[in-house]
Amino acid sequence: MRRVRKEVREYFAAQGMKVRVCAPYYVPKALIPPGLEPVHPELHDYLRQAMRTTLVLNDGTRLKVLYIPWEQMNMTEKGVAITVIRNELYEEMKRHGEVKSWRVEINEMPAELAWMLEELARKEGVKLEWVETG
């Protein structure tokens, strides 16, 4: 993650701008009211917004940085999240068919999502790697 942040800062510095790079859509646990569970439309909106942010690295790799509060989700919400992430990534891959290298940095990678991403990469013929950022 530090490498990516450094590349982003260097890119903007070359453009004459100074930026602070933070992981998007992170909400500290302390700020989430106890018992607040996202409803499905809000969950869809949150995930779609998170998936809209893509960093393009110097080598052309398209990077998604995600924070998903898995521990606060029930099984249905986790299923919704996994499906939305996969579908949004697939749609972006279709829009950018020339891109052959993708990376997802996520706080935690559930096995189901890892499997879906492996299948997607194989189907689309792209390199897709992910890193758990904890």
Domain positions in the chain: 23-132
Predicted local distance difference test score (pLDDT) of residue 134: 80
Residue 67 · residue 105 · CB < 8 Å: no
- For residue 128, pLDDT over 90 is answered with yes
The values of phi and psi at residue 104, to 5°, are -120, 125
pLDDT for position 118: 93
Query: How confident is the model at residue 122, as a pLDDT?
Result: 92
| CA-angle at 59, arms to 115 and 88, nearest 5° | 40
CA distances from 1 to 63, 88, 109, 122, 131 (A): 11, 22, 15, 25, 9
According to the model, what pLDDT value does residue 11 have?
78
pLDDT at 15 over 80: no
Q: What's the pLDDT at 50?
A: 86
- Taking only the tens place, the pLDDT of each residue in 30-57 is 544 555 444 566 787 888 888 888 999 9
pLDDT tens-digit readout, 63-109: 999 999 898 888 888 888 888 899 889 999 999 989 999 999 999 99
